[in-house]
Amino acid sequence: MSKQELGQFFTPTAVAEFMASLFELASDDIHLLDAGAGEGALTEAFVRSACSRKQRPSRLMVVAYEVDEPVLAALRRTMERCQSLCAARGIEFDNEIRHADFIESALEFVRDDLFGSAKAPFNAALLNPPYRKINSDSQTRRHLREAGIETSNLYTGFLALAARLLCDGGEMVSITPRRFCNGPYFRPFRREFLGSMSLERLHVFDSRSAARRKASVHHAP
């Protein structure tokens, strides 16, 4: 798939830092979800923010999902930097890079959850999800439907599933187009999302390009 088909636009450092600063981080043991992690800009900003606080967590675990193989090497390097940052601050750091489709993987949890056997694995989620229309007869759409999520765009699918993976009191910060706020298309998503999450803060970026940086990884020939 091309970068465009993957919805691959990386978050500029300043925007990632701003997003990371919005977390309260009340827990001493942070389990962070980075779904559609790219090169890991969001995770790195999150770790930097956690490390610079007076009240630092004692443990930080990150799970990063990414489908695009060529960006994984950069993502691994980011995790190594995060490891060093945390070590310097006496924070135990652990990470898992999952080279997998987030929608498919999250579905396994949602299925277990229906039988009451799953424990929500995260207390923080930081996302800049891929934006792409999902065809009504696609596999992704079927997966989402199976989870009871009716939506026509990948980003709302990511948000709805990330919300399901958060424990009570968990926090999520995400960049999204503002289109989900109105109109009938996104009504089922709003119902699902706002049924389990409360909005604490909305920040409106002046332009879409202000919150985007071009992907810097090139596919090998």
**Residues of the shown chain interacting with ligand SAM in the complex, contacts defined by CB under 6 A:** 6-11, 36-38, 41-42, 65-68, 71, 101-103, 128, 130
Nearest to 126 by CA among 208, 18, 6: 18
C-beta closer to ligand SAM: residue 51 or 107: 107
Degrees, nearest 5: CA angle 68-72-75: 125
| Closest of 140, 13, 5 to residue 68, by C-alpha | 5
Indicate the residue whose CB is closest to ligand SAM: 36
Nearer to ligand SAM by C-beta: 58 or 209? 209
> How far is Cα of residue 135 from the mean position of the Cα atoms in its chain?
22
Instruction: Please report how close the Cβ of residue 196 comes to ligand SAM at its closest, in angstroms.
Output: 21
Shortest reach from residue 1's CB to ligand SAM, in Å: 8
Q: Which is nearer to ligand SAM, 68 or 150 (CB)?
A: 68
Structure tokens at 111: 């299925």
> Whole-number minimum distance, CB 174 to ligand SAM, in Å?
10
Give buried/exposed letters for 103-123 (b at 16+ CB in 10 A, else e).
Answer: beebbebbeeeeeeeeeeebb
If the CB atoms of residues 30 and 42 are measured against ligand SAM, the closer one turns out to be 42
